[in-house]
């Protein structure tokens, strides 16, 4: 598969390719094995893991430098863990081009996962200054942002045209970058950042994702579901059928408890109907009510009519964390229980009379209208 990254950004502006002494056109694989966590890495790394490189049909074609292979890294059980490529690409600005060397990593869904420096090569910026440690870290943060401003702007939109003649330099910021860009990129290294981001987030991303999905099996599903990576969790959840929801319910409850709000919301919204028809299946979700985020609580409350009375009592002990509209939803659901269930009645009275809770008045008015 052919993926073309056009990195000679300024050819149209009359920039010329100026090869430097000692420059190589391709680089050898940096390592045959990956045995330690990449220096800049966003995923969890299992200590002792030794990943072996295997080739894939994918490569990144860098203009004038040819194809650069993308490999898959597999563990000892031959299970895919990451994708990687040793990238050498020209970065051109202000009439001069230099090579940038990086070993990039993508996760199994094609998202940028991290990078390593290439031995013997440093990244440089304005006036040939070498990247400082914080610059490497900033580059990593920038690459992690899949919604970066670099995504939707062309390079010439990112810089104001300078009035003065351009200075020579590897990666000079030719003209002032706009404020948002400045926050996003390594100071003095706009072009390097732009090129790196567009490789990491280029078409290769989708290709790798599709490759994983084409080879997605039960084992991979289990792996992703067990993983702490949010993208993996979300993807795996999206592939579950009703029976698998049941099979994996313990893990799903755990993700609901510990996951990010977006995934929790997805779980509540997509739990099969049978969970809401069974007291025992739905109870663990209600038990997390106090610790999950507000949006997830609201989505849970949409199911309160299907919940057993124990849930009404459980939530009655959590009135102080409910928002106004959540309280209203709860109260309308338990209207018929208030008079017959002394526990709920006592909880409402306690809350309404507390005097310190923001929405105590909502419960007080509710009780008043019941009388």
Partner 1 sequence: MKYLLLILCFLNISLTISQELLLEAESFDDKGGWVVDPQFIEQMGSSYLQAHGMGVPVENAQTQVNFKNKGEYKVWVRTKNWVPGEWEAPGKFQIKVNGLVLENTLGLRSGWGWEYAGAVQITDKKNTLELVDLTGFNGRCDAVYFTTSNVEPPSSSKKLATWRKTVVMEPLAPKVTKKYDLVVVGGGIAGCAAAIAAAEQGLQVALIHDRPVLGGNASSEIRVHTLGIYGNFERILKKLDTEHYPNGSPEAHIDQIKRDNNVKSYDNISLFLNWRAYDAKAVENKINYVDARQTATGERLRFEAPLFVDSTGDGWIGFWAGAEFSYGRESVDEYGEEWKEHGELWSPKQPDNAVMGSSVLWRSFEADQVEDFPEVPWAMPVARDYAKVKGEWQWEFSRNDLHQIDDAEEIRDHMLRAIYGSFGNAKKLPENANRKLEWVSYLVGKRESRRLVGDYIFTLNDAKSGRTFPDGVVEETREVDVHYQTVLEDEKNPDFISEALFYETPKYYIPYRSLYSKNIDNLFMAGRNFSTSHIGLGGPRVMRTTGQMGAAVGFAASLCKKYDVNPRDIYTGYLEEYMDLIENQKYTPIPESKK
Q: Does 356 contact partner 1 by CB under 8 A?
A: yes
Among 121, 254, 298, 341, binds partner 1 (CB under 8 A): 298
For 21, the 3-state DSSP assignment is coil
Give the C-alpha separation, 177 to 109, whole Å.
32
Q: Does 39 bind partner 1 (CB under 8 A)?
A: no
Distance in angstroms (rounded) separating the CA atoms of residues 162 and 154: 17
Q: Is residue 46 at the binding interface for partner 1, with CB under 8 A as the rule?
A: no
Nearest to 100 by CA among 133, 67, 124: 124
Query: 306 with 277: CB under 8 angstroms?
Result: yes
Residue 294 makes contact with partner 1 by CB under 8 A: yes
Tell me the torsion sign for CA atoms 266, 271, 273, 275.
negative
State the minimum distance, in angstroms, from the CB of residue 338 to partner 1: 18
Closer of 46 and 230 to partner 1 (Cβ): 230
Q: Closest Cα partner for 99 from 203, 181, 202, 196?
A: 196
Minimum Å gap between C-beta 299 and partner 1 is 7
**Nearest residue (CB) to partner 1, 101 versus 289:** 289
Window 233-272: contact mask with partner 1 (x via CB under 8 A): -x---x---------------------xxx--xx--xx--
Stretch that binds partner 1, among 19-27, 170-178, 306-314, 356-364 (CB under 8 A): 356-364
In the complex with partner 1, the residue whose CB is nearer, 12 or 238, is: 238
Q: Check residue 134 for interaction with partner 1 (CB under 8 A).
A: no
**Does the footprint of partner 1 cover residue 18 (CB under 8 A)?**
no
Residue with Cβ nearer partner 1 (28 or 371)? 371
Residue with Cβ nearer partner 1 (293 or 343): 293
Bridge partners of 55, per DSSP, are: 71
Nearer to partner 1, 61 or 320 (CB): 320
290 binds partner 1 (CB under 8 A): no
Residue pair 204/70 in contact by the 8 Å Cβ criterion: yes
Q: What residues between 316 and 345 interact with partner 1 by CB under 8 A?
A: 323-326
Place of tokens 């990112």: 158
When asked if residue 45 is in the footprint of partner 1 (CB under 8 A), the reply is: no
Least distance in Å: CB of 52 to partner 1?
29
Nearer Cβ to partner 1, position 147 or 340? 147
Shortest distance (Å) from residue 34 CB to partner 1: 26
Enumerate residues 6+ apart whose C-beta is below 8 A from 82.
Answer: 34, 43, 51, 72, 73, 105, 106, 107, 108, 113
Among 53-61, 113-121, 144-152, 275-283, which window interacts with partner 1 (CB under 8 A)? Answer: 144-152
Residue 109's closest CA among 2, 254, 220? 220
The angle, 0 to 180 degrees and rounded to 10, between the axes of the packed helices 279-287 and 309-316 is 10
Q: Identify residues 165-224 at the interface with partner 1 (CB under 8 A).
A: 209
291 binds partner 1 (CB under 8 A): no
Q: What are the counts of helices (DSSP H) followed by strands (DSSP E) for the chain?
A: 18, 8
Q: In the set 44, 77, 147, 340, which binds partner 1 (CB under 8 A)? A: 147
- Spatial distance between the Cα atoms of 122 and 136, rounded to a whole number of angstroms: 10
Question: What is residue 140's three-state secondary structure?
Answer: helix
- 151 touches partner 1 (CB under 8 A): yes
In 162-247, which residue ranges form alpha helices assigned H by DSSP?
179-184, 190-200, 204-214, 218-226, 230-238, 242-247
The verdict on 365 binding partner 1 (CB under 8 A) reads: yes
As a whole number of angstroms, the distance between CA 292 and CA 189 comes to 41
Nearest to 50 by CA among 74, 79, 84, 83: 74
Binding site for partner 1 (CB under 8 A): 146-147, 151-152, 209, 230, 234, 238, 260-262, 265-266, 269-270, 293-295, 297-299, 323-326, 356-362, 365, 369
């Amino acid at each position: 598969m052919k993926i073309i990254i056009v990195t000679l950004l300024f050819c149209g502006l009359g920039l010329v390719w100026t090869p430097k002494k000692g420059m190589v056109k391709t680089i050898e694989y940096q390592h045959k094995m990956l045995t330690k966590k990449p220096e800049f890495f966003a995923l969890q790394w299992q200590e002792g893991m030794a990943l072996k490189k295997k080739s894939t049909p994918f490569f990144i074609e860098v203009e004038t430098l040819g194809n650069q292979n993308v490999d898959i890294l597999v563990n000892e059980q031959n299970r895919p863990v990451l994708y990687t490529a040793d990238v050498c690409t020209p970065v051109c600005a202000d009439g001069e081009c230099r090579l940038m060397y990086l070993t990039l990593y993508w996760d199994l869904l094609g998202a940028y996962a991290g990078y390593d420096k290439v031995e013997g090569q440093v990244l440089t910026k304005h006036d040939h200054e070498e990247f400082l440690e914080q610059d490497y870290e900033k580059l990593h943060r920038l690459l992690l942002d899949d919604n970066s401003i670099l995504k939707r702007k062309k390079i010439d939109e990112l810089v104001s045209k300078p009035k003065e003649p351009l200075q020579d330099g590897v990666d000079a910021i030719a003209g002032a970058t706009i404020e948002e860009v400045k926050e996003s990129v390594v100071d003095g290294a706009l072009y390097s950042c732009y090129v790196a981001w567009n490789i990491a987030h280029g078409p290769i991303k989708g290709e790798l994702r599709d490759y994983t999905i084409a080879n997605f099996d039960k084992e991979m599903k289990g792996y992703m579901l067990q993983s702490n990576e949010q993208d993996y969790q979300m993807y795996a959840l999206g592939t579950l059928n009703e029976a698998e929801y049941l099979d994996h319910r313990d893990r799903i409850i755990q993700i609901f408890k510990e996951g990010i709000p977006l995934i929790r919301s997805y779980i509540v919204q997509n739990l099969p109907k049978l969970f809401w028809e069974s007291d025992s299946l739905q109870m663990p979700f209600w038990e997390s009510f106090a610790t999950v985020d507000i949006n997830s609580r609201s989505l849970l409350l949409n199911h309160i009519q299907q919940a057993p009375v124990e849930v009404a009592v459980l939530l009655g002990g959590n009135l102080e964390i409910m928002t106004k509209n959540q309280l209203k939803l709860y109260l309308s659901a338990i209207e018929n229980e208030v008079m017959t269930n002394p526990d709920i009645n006592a909880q409402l009275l306690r809350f309404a009379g507390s005097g310190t809770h923001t929405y105590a008045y909502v419960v007080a008015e509710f009780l008043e209208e019941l009388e």
